[in-house]
């Protein structure tokens, strides 16, 4: 008998993958969590019926959350990750020598626990001496830590359940206050095919708070439509002003210095959304 996992990405569209084994399927205090082994994408983390990450394509998302922001800020010593309990963004941050401290705040400790067990290549940096891991509410952490971080990265699920507060103007204002005077942040902002209204609302809200706002994109096959956007808000530094020839080559699979500015060149229909 064949078993298949299907994510309904809209009411009339989804993706499906053949399942070899189910490692975990439980209701945590915050969400339904599953770890499954698929034939095409390897181990897959699923939260509330949505694919969060997989062995095969995780590097795209994690690299694009981390490297454009860290290569835009000239001295990113103090970095906060909100969400991201799988550890992939933390792993990429640790490739930057200037980073002295990484704080990871995820509301669901089970995501951290099972990622260490079933996604060890992704969670490999969580035990690094530069990393602090807190099981807590990221919204409240930001509220309680003013003027502390150089870079904040929001690695959240879609705006449902515990992540709903992470897509509000109040949250972006809190991020602004938690950043130092030349700080910047980046957040995943979903896809333009099915969530155009979300991208527009986030862009509008961030522009009300930050003087520099840029949208960029990457291809993540297991995310809805495959075309995924990210939004960067900055107090001073513009990612388009970065000298890409000065960006050092690091061990990556998707992001490169040459891709840095290219990722901010948007398809016309996406560009129209954020004008």
Residue 22 assigned as binding residue: no
Residue 251 assigned ligand-binding role: no
Q: Is 137 assigned a ligand-binding role in the annotation?
A: yes
Q: 155 labelled as ligand-binding?
A: yes
To the question of whether residue 138 is assigned a binding role by annotation, the answer is yes
Give the DSSP per-residue string, 201-258.
HHHHHHHTT-SEEEEEEEE-TTSTTSEEEEEEEESS--GGG--GGGSPP-S-SS--TT
157 labeled part of a ligand binding site: yes
Residue 156 among known ligand-binding residues: yes
Is position 144 annotated in a ligand binding site? no
158 is in an annotated binding site: yes
What order do you get walking across the sheet with 50-54 strand by strand? 3-10, 13-27, 32-38, 42-47, 50-54
- Side-by-side strand order, sheet with 227-234: 131-135, 101-106, 78-83, 149-155, 179-188, 227-234, 212-219
Query: Nearest to residue 32, comparing CAs of 22, 45, 18?
Result: 45
H/E element holding 57? none
From the list 57, 155, 190, 205, the catalytic residue is 155
Eight-class DSSP state of 190? -
- CA dist 143 and 126 (Å) reads 24
DSSP codes of every residue in 225-238: TSEEEEEEEESS--
- The answer to whether 229 is annotated as binding is no
User: DSSP class of residue 141?
Assistant: H
Q: How is residue 67 annotated by DSSP?
A: H
Is 155 catalytic? The answer is yes
The residue among 195, 188, 193, 215 whose CA lies nearest residue 203 is 215
Does 162 belong to an annotated binding site? Answer: yes
* 3-class SS of residue 98: coil
Query: Pairing between strand 227-234 and 179-188?
Result: antiparallel
Residues comprising the binding site? 31, 62, 86, 106, 137-138, 155-158, 162
Residues comprising the binding site for spermidine? 62, 86, 155-158
Residues annotated as catalytic (active site), given as ranges: 155
Residues comprising the binding site for S-methyl-5'-thioadenosine? 31, 106, 137-138, 162
């Amino acid at each position: 008998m064949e078993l298949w996992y299907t994510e309904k990405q809209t009411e009339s569209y989804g993706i499906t993958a053949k399942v070899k084994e189910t490692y975990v399927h439980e209701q945590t205090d915050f969400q339904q969590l599953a770890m499954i082994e698929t034939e095409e994408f390897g181990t897959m983390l699923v939260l509330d019926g949505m694919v969060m990450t997989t062995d095969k394509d995780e590097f795209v998302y994690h690299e694009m959350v981390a490297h454009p922001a860290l290569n835009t800020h000239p001295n990113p010593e103090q970095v906060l990750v909100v969400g991201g309990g799988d550890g992939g963004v933390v792993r990429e941050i640790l490739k930057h020598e200037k980073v002295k401290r990484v704080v990871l705040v995820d509301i669901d400790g089970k995501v951290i626990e099972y990622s260490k067990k079933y996604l060890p290549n992704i969670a490999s940096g969580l035990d690094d001496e530069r990393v602090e891991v807190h099981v807590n509410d990221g919204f409240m952490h930001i509220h309680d830590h003013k003027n502390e971080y150089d870079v904040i990265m929001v690695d959240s699920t879609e705006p449902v359940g515990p992540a709903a507060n992470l897509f509000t103007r109040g949250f972006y204002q809190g991020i602004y206050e938690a950043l130092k005077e030349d700080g910047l942040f980046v957040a995943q902002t979903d896809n333009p095919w099915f969530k155009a209204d979300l991208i527009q609302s986030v862009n509008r809200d961030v522009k009300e708070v930050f003087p520099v706002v840029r949208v960029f994109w990457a291809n993540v096959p297991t995310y809805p439509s495959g075309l995924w956007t990210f939004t960067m808000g900055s107090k001073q530094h513009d990612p388009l002003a970065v000298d890409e020839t000065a960006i050092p080559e690091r061990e990556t699979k998707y992001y490169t210095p040459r891709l840095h500015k290219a990722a901010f060149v948007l398809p016309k229909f996406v560009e129209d959304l954020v004008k």
